Amino acid sequence: MIWCVNVFNLKYRFFAFVGEKQGFLYGKEGVMEFNLDYLLNNLAFNIKDTPYKKLSLEELSHNLFSYLDDYQKMGFSFINLPNKLINISKGQDRYLLFGESFLGYFVMGEDGQVLMICNDEGYEVFQDKLVFVNSSLKLFVSSYSLFLSKIFVLKSKFFEIKGSEMEAISMEFMEEVIALEKDSTNQPIFWEHIAYLIEDDGIVLRNDVTDYIKEGE
């Protein structure tokens, strides 16, 4: 059975699947963005529905989430308004979830830090269920934007790029992220892994052939 928990507008909805297996999907015009089953079933998080709040013009003009573009080739997907933050908790730990990637879920802690709650793939990489990403949402937006800029650099050179160039792009990316996080005592291990993928030709730059085959079915 599908139960509509909250309708923000005609384009955005939360869906909860009630039955033996509970979970949440966050969708945009029929395209699933967040699958929160893992948080509920594997990590025993509680997900709280929050009443719809109309945003003021000031809140809209200072909306950092509007700068976050999805990159679905690697599972990066985000909310676009602060009144769509998802409240999750486990014991005394409370977070605001605003996005996900192929490695897990992006959340803000009570101190404003951006963290990642890892899925199975993320845990295999980091050997931890919770990893530091950025000191603030503002720095996350900047770091993620730098990452997207490197994707376009890689795309511009796809036909002739050399290993040494990918290494240089990777190093430049990490230097820029570290410069942003100059006052942080935390190691940006999430972005270090992204830098490793850039160097190791692990960034997905185009749709897989099978994606086109599926579309033609």
- Rounded Cα distance, 173 and 166, in Å: 10
- Rounded Cα distance, 159 and 59, in Å: 43
73 pLDDT tier (thresholds 50, 70, 90): very high
Contact between 16 and 3 (Cβ < 8 Å): yes
pLDDT above 90: percentage of residues in the chain: 63
Global confidence as pTM:
0.82
pLDDT higher at 75 or 34:
75
Cα–Cα separations (whole angstroms), residue 100 to 14, 119, 217: 15, 10, 28
217 pLDDT tier (thresholds 50, 70, 90): low
- Rounded Cα distance, 205 and 155, in Å: 7
* 102-140 tens-digit pLDDT: 999 999 999 999 999 999 999 999 999 999 999 999 999
Beta bridge partners of 33: none
Of 11-15, 90-94, 108-112, 120-124, give the lowest mean pLDDT range. 11-15
Contact between 31 and 37 (Cβ < 8 Å): no
Domain boundaries, the chain: 2-199
